């Protein structure tokens, strides 16, 4: 059983460009979580999704950030018009539907904004 | 609101010495508690978790943690540290409704030979 997959592992964008981060959950997992890790900080919750539904987006910045988890395909975290402050590691985690607290993390995407 | 405090930002121990990493949490109900380890440039690996029952939980790689409700603590311990344990360790708390986790700021462990 493959683990949580994230791509790309490293992403470089210039200010004003868009960043798209992908997350494929483990097989059988229908819950996806996105976290952001800023330099020298712990992980901060961003958003919790189930298939085709956003359950909790209380940690998402109000502007420029969006997330989706379509019926088919990976979950996508989209950052529009990136700024230098968006440079961080973005981690995705997934959990099975009956054990939402057991989260398995992907290797992360390290976003650098020039 | 839930929160996690890891008082020690950086700990250095000698290989073979014992280890204790501190974690204090704030949560309004019965918490779900976790310890994760992160090696440089890597994702997080779950070391152990506490949901209920025995307050002393065993994890992978020889780690254990003890839940103390009266002290709101969930400290991580290992009797004898190996050089490969050098990494950053995160304590996290979650609720029973769903799995949103709140993490501490992490403790960086350095192991001297």
Q: Is the pLDDT of residue A101 over 80?
A: no
pLDDT value for B40? 84
Partner-chain contact B99 A44, CB within 8 Å: no
pLDDT tens-digit map of B59-71:
999 999 999 999 9
Q: Is the pLDDT of residue A80 over 70?
A: yes
Distance CA A57, CA A45 (A): 9
Give yes or no for A96 touching B (CB within 8 A).
no
Q: Is the pLDDT of residue B22 over 80?
A: yes
Mean pLDDT of chain A: 93
pLDDT tier at B96, thresholds 50, 70, 90: low
Partner-chain contact B90 A42, CB within 8 Å: yes
pLDDT tier at B97, thresholds 50, 70, 90: low
Give yes or no for A102 touching B (CB within 8 A).
yes
CA–CA distance from A67 to each of A15, A35, A58, B39 (Å)?
20, 12, 12, 27
* B8 interaction partners in chain A (CB closer than 8 Å): none
Partner-chain contact B43 A108, CB within 8 Å: yes
Q: Is the pLDDT of residue A40 over 90?
A: no
pLDDT value for B72? 93
Mean pLDDT of chain B: 92
pLDDT value for A2? 73
Partner-chain contact B101 A45, CB within 8 Å: yes
Closest alpha carbon to A89 in B5, B106, B6? B106
Give yes or no for B36 touching A (CB within 8 A).
yes
pLDDT value for B11? 97
Q: Is the pLDDT of residue B13 over 90?
A: yes
Q: What is the DSSP letter of A31?
A: E
């Amino acid at each position: 059983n493959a683990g949580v997959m994230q791509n790309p592992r490293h992403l470089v964008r210039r200010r004003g460009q868009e960043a798209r981060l992908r997350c494929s959950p483990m097989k059988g997992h229908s819950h996806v979580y996105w976290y952001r890790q800023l330099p020298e900080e712990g992980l901060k919750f961003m958003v919790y999704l189930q298939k085709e539904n956003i359950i909790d987006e209380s940690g998402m910045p109000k502007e420029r950030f969006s997330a989706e988890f379509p019926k088919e395909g990976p979950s996508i975290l989209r950052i529009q018009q990136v700024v230098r402050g968006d440079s961080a590691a973005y981690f995705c985690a997934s959990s099975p539907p009956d054990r939402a607290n057991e989260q398995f993390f992907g290797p992360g995407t390290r976003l650098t904004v020039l | 609101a839930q929160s996690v405090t890891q008082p020690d930002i950086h700990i250095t121990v000698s290989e073979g010495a014992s280890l204790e990493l501190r974690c204090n949490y704030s949560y309004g109900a019965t918490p779900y508690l976790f310890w994760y380890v992160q090696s440089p440039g890597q994702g997080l690996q779950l070391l152990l978790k506490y949901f209920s029952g025995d307050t002393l939980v065993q994890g992978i790689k020889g780690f254990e943690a003890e839940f103390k409700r009266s002290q709101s603590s969930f400290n991580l311990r290992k009797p004898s540290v190996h050089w490969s344990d050098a990494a950053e360790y995160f304590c996290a708390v979650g609720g029973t409704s769903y799995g949103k986790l709140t993490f501490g700021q992490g403790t960086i462990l350095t192991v001297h030979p």
